Amino acid sequence: MSEEIEKPNKTKNILVMFSGGLDSTTALYKLLKETNNNIYVHHIILKDTSNRWKSELDTSRDIVKYLKNIRPFDYSESTVEVQLNSEDPKGGSRHDDNSTVLFIANQICLVESYKRIDYIVISELECEQDKSTKDYATDMIDVMHKRKWSVKKPKIYDPLKEFNNNKCTIDKDIINKIKNYVLSNLITQETPIDLITNQLFINIICTKRKMYQYLPQGLQNKIVYCRTPNNNNKCNNCFNCLLYENIV
Ligand SMILES: [Zn+2]
């Protein structure tokens, strides 16, 4: 999915889709700190059946304020209400965040064509993607670009590549606990079960640990991850709380 940035001497325009979570915060911090590209940051206030959007929005604004001390960048927000599939006891509309993020990213590239976006950063970890996920992102950009062919066609860029699959030690019991949680609480019939392997969770935890360690403490303390927060406090009960216990 990721393309190397060509001509590193030339300043590029990069759109970072930013959630306030570990992945997109690391991607944004790295781009601001290590490159001189023009950075456009966009946060989607994704109103689904949970009220997670409130803590994500507070966190995003807080992190953006912090990161603007590194260097200035453009920041915008949009609101999407997705109440689809709300009867699904195993997750509902949250299953398809990615298509929403890609759609809005494409809209920004097309509608705000003066930004001449070269690259879109969606902060999906390499280890979490199968071929169909990668094809989906590329196809979606192709289809939307064909509607407005005169506009520059962006590419997906992955600034998190270097953190991928770093080896670390994880207790086997913890991996089994995480895997069982996913299989019994998060996966609906439509999701291919064969993608849910022990190795997948080992890769995710090792990659995220490496990313977390890369961040300065001021950012580490701000990251949001809980799926069902209460007044910005984590629940200590959801999948992400279980996962991040072994990362932070
Ligand atoms: Zn939680």
pLDDT along the chain (248 residues), means of 10: 59 96 97 97 89 90 97 97 68 67 94 94 89 88 86 93 89 91 75 78 94 97 88 86 92
CA–centroid distance, residue 55 to ligand 1 (Å): 12
In a domain, 165, yes or no: yes
Number of domains in the chain: 1
CA 70 / ligand 1 centre spacing (Å): 30
**How many Å apart are CA 156 and CA 14, to the nearest integer?**
10
For residue 2, tell me if it sits in a domain.
no
The verdict on residue 7 lying in a domain is no
Determine the distance separating the centroid of ligand 1 and the alpha carbon of 41, expressed in angstroms.
26
User: CB–CB of 196/204 below 8 Å?
Assistant: no
Residue 229 domain boundaries: 13-244
The answer to whether the beta carbons of residues 14 and 118 sit under 8 Å apart is: yes
Residue 1 lies in a domain: no
Q: 226 C-alpha to center of ligand 1: Å?
A: 4
Neighbouring residues of the ion ligand 1, judged by CB less than 5 Å: 226, 234-235, 238, 241
- Ligand 1 centroid from CA 247, angstroms: 14
**Model confidence, pTM:** 0.90
Sign of the alpha-carbon dihedral angle for 186, 208, 129, 64:
positive
Domain of residue 110, CATH code: 3.40.50
Q: Encoding tokens for residue 88?
A: 């699904």
pLDDT at 194: 73
For residue 64, how far is its CA from the centre of ligand 1 (angstroms)? Answer: 23
Domain membership flag for residue 5: no
> What is the 186 CA–ligand 1 centroid distance (Å)?
14
Q: Is residue 4 part of a domain?
A: no
Tell how far the Cα of 112 is from the centroid of ligand 1, in angstroms.
Answer: 36
Flag whether 239 is in a domain.
yes
pLDDT of residue 149: 79
In a domain, residue 146? The reply is yes
For residue 129, report the distance from its CA to the centre of ligand 1, in Å.
23
Q: Convert 33-48 to b/e letters by CB count within 10 Å (16 or more is b).
A: eeeebbbbbbbbebbb
